[in-house]
Amino acid sequence: MSILDIRHLSKSFGKHQVLTDINFSVEKGDVTSIIGASGSGKSTLLRCINLLETPSGGEILYHGENILSMKKSEAAYRARVGMVFQSFNLFYNMNVLENCVIGQTRVLRKKRKEAVETAIRFLNQVGMTPFVKAKPAQLSGGQKQRVAIARAMAMSPEVLLFDEPTSALDPEMVGEVLAVMQKLAQDGMTMLVVTHEMAFARDVSNHVVFMHEGVIREEGDPKQLFAKPQTEEMRSFLSRFREQ
C-alpha cells in the first residue's frame, strides 16, 4: 500500500480554483519532484497534503486512511509527515538545538536526553553541530535551511515535504542544502519536493510530476520526461531553463 495516495484532490480559494482533480501516489522511498511554472499550484498542493490548507474536495489517503475525515488527529498526522519551508520557519525564540528538541519532547514525549542525542545526530548530518547554541537570526540562509531539515528529520517522519527549499537562498548556498537533500534521498528517505532545481528533479528524484494551471500535465520517470516531454506546456517550461 502507498504511504500517500492523493485522489481527485481539488482546492479553491473562493471562486478561484487552484487545484483540479489531482491524482498521484507516494511509495516508500520515493523521491518525487513537483515542477511547474509559478502559480501552477505546487505550494498549495503540498500545503493541502500537510493540512495547512483544507482541500475543497477529494481524498488524501495515508496508509489507506482518509486523513480529511479523521479530524482529531491532525497534529499526530503532521508529526509523521514533516515539512520544510522556503522561508525556514525556525522558531526565533529558541537556539538551534532547542529548535530540534522541542518537537521531540512535546509532541513525541521523548525524554530530554534522548531528544538531545537525536537532535545532535541530525544536526551532525547536516553539518550544523558547531552552531547548536546559535539563534536562528545569527545564521545564514543555507545554515537555517539545514537546521530546518534537521528539525524535521528529528521527528523521524515517514515522509518529508519540501516547498522550494532553496528558492530563498543566495546562489552560493543552494549547493549545501541540495547536498543534504541528496544525502537524505540516498539514505532512503521518502520525499516530496517542490523545486525549480531541474538538475535535482532529473538526477536525484525517481519520479517527476509536472503541474500546469492546477492540474498534473505529465508525470513519470525523470529521464524520459526530461528527454521527451509529451506536452507543449512542459516543453516550453523546460526550454526556459535550457536558455539559462
Partner 1 sequence: MDKLIQLGSEIASLWQKSGLQYLRGAGDTILLAVIATLAGCVIGFACGILQTIPVRQRDNAFKKTVVGIVKAIVRVYVEVFRGTPMILQAVFVYFAIPFFSNNAVRLDVTTAAYLVVSINTGAYMAETVRGGILSIDKGQTEGAKAIGMTHFQTMLFVILPQTLRNILPQIGNNLIINIKDTSVMFIIGYTELFAVHKALVGGNYLYFPSAVITMGIYLILTLTCSLLLRLMERKMDGPANFDVATTDSLAHTSGMYSFVKKRGARS
Ligand X SMILES: Nc1ncnc2c1ncn2[C@@H]1O[C@H](COP(=O)(O)OP(=O)(O)OP(=O)(O)O)[C@@H](O)[C@H]1O
Total residues binding ligand X (CB under 6 A): 11
Footprint of Mg ion (CB under 5 A): 43
163: β partners: 194
Beta bridge partners, 3, equal none
In whole angstroms, how close is the CB of 103 to partner 1 at the nearest point? 4
Binding marks (x or -) toward partner 1, 25..54, rule CB under 8 A? --x--xx------------------x-x-x
Pick out residues in 5-24 that bind ligand X (CB under 6 A).
13, 16, 18
What's the rounded Cα separation, in Å, for the pair 81 and 233?
31
Could you say which of Mg ion, ligand X, partner 1, none residue 151 binds, taking C-beta under 5 to 8 angstroms by partner kind? partner 1
40/205 with CB nearer Mg ion:
40
Taking CB under 6 A as the rule, does residue 118 contact ligand X? no
Sequence-distant (≥ 6) Cβ neighbours of residue 80 within 8 angstroms: 62, 157, 158, 159
The set of cell numbers assigned to 230 is 509529451
Looking at residue 152, its amino acid is A
Q: Say whether residue 91 binds ligand X (CB under 6 A).
A: no
Q: How far is the CB of 111 from partner 1 (least distance, A)?
A: 17
19 beta partners: 11
Residue 42 makes contact with ligand X by CB under 6 A: yes
Instruction: Find the helix or strand (DSSP H, E) in which 210 lies.
Output: strand 207-212
Phi-psi region of 226 (alpha: psi -120 to 50; beta: other; left: phi over 0): alpha
Find the binding residues for partner 1 in span 134-193 (CB under 8 A). Answer: 134-135, 138, 142, 146, 148, 151-152, 155, 172-173, 175-176, 178-179, 182, 185-186
What is each CA distance from 21 to 35, 54, 81, 204, 217, in whole angstroms? 17, 15, 22, 27, 11
Residue 127 C-beta: closest distance to partner 1, Å = 3
For the segment 126-145, give every residue that binds partner 1 (CB under 8 A). Answer: 126-135, 138, 142
Q: What is the spatial distance between Cα 138 and Cα 190, in angstroms, rounded to a whole number?
A: 31
Contact 9, 55 (CB under 8 A): yes
100 versus 201: smaller Cβ distance to Mg ion = 201
| Adjacency order of strands within the sheet including 215-220 | 81-84, 159-163, 190-194, 31-36, 207-212, 215-220
- Return d(Cα 183, Cα 179) in angstroms, integer: 6
Can residue 33 be called a binding residue for ligand X (CB under 6 A)? no
Give the Cα separation of 119 and 104 in Å (integer). 9
**Interface with ligand X by CB under 6 A: which residues?**
13, 16, 18, 36, 38-44
**Interface with partner 1 by CB under 8 A: which residues?**
27, 30-31, 50, 52, 54, 71, 75-80, 82-83, 85, 87-93, 95, 102-103, 106-108, 124, 126-135, 138, 142, 146, 148, 151-152, 155, 172-173, 175-176, 178-179, 182, 185-186, 199-200, 203-207, 221-224
